[in-house]
Amino acid sequence: SQSFEYNYGDFIPVLRPFLRGYLNRCHDLKTRRMKVFEDNFVQERKKVMAQTGEIRCAMDHILEAERKGEINHDNVL
């Protein structure tokens, strides 16, 4: 898979226009996937925890660590 830090177009100039579009699409897809995960899973688990106070799954442990400041939101995602 193509890393966002390492761009083959830097070494093979003829690939630059193709890779730029490809990397933009990869970044957009990653952003959309993370938004779906955030909205449909992370936020839903936070609501359940707020209502019940129970920790019932691994995600709840991760969210509790975020609440305590042990990890940040990027670590959660």
Taking the domains of the chain in order of start, what are their residue ranges?
2-73
Query: Which pTM does this prediction carry?
Result: 0.60
pLDDT tens profile 42-54: 999 999 888 988 8
Q: What is the pLDDT of residue 19?
A: 83
Asked whether 20 and 9 are in contact (CB, 8 A), the reply is yes
Higher-confidence residue of 46 and 55: namely: 46
**Mean pLDDT of the 19-25 span:** 86
Banded pLDDT at 2 (limits 50, 70, 90): very low
Give residues with Cβ within 8 angstroms of 59, minimum separation 6. 41, 42, 45
pLDDT at 3 over 60: no
- For the chain, counts of helices (H) and of strands (E): 4, 0
